[in-house]
Amino acid sequence: MAISSAITDLFKSAYELVASLVGAVYTIIQSFITGVFGLFTGFISFIGDIFQGLIDVVGGVGRFVAGTYLLQFLVIILY
C-alpha cells in the first residue's frame, strides 16, 4: 500500500509542477501582451495629445492675431 501511495503522490506532484509551470508561462505571456497593448495605446494617446496641444496653440495665436488686427481695424475706422 505504501508504494502505490508514494507513486500516486509522485504523479500528483508532477502534475502540480507542470500545471504551475504552465500557469507561470501563461501569466508571463499575458503580462507581456498587456504591456505591449498598453504601450501602443499610450503612444496613440501621446500623439493625440500632441495634436490637441498644437491645435490649442494655433487657435490661441490665431485668436490673438485676429483680436489685435480687429482692434487696429476698429481704431482706424473710428478715428
Please state, in angstroms and rounded to a whole number, the distance separating the CA atoms of residues 48 and 79: 46
Please state, in angstroms and rounded to a whole number, the distance separating the CA atoms of residues 6 and 18: 18
Q: Can you give the pLDDT of all 79 residues of the chain as single tens digits?
A: 588 888 888 999 999 999 999 999 999 999 999 999 999 999 999 998 998 888 877 777 777 777 777 777 777 777 7
> What's the confidence (pLDDT) of residue 1?
59
Grid coordinates representing 40 are 501602443
CA 18 to the chain's CA centroid: 33
> What's the confidence (pLDDT) of residue 62?
74
Please state, in angstroms and rounded to a whole number, the distance separating the CA atoms of residues 68 and 58: 15
The residue extents of the domains of the chain are 1-79
CA 20 to the chain's CA centroid: 29
Please state, in angstroms and rounded to a whole number, the distance separating the CA atoms of residues 14 and 10: 6
> What's the confidence (pLDDT) of residue 57?
78
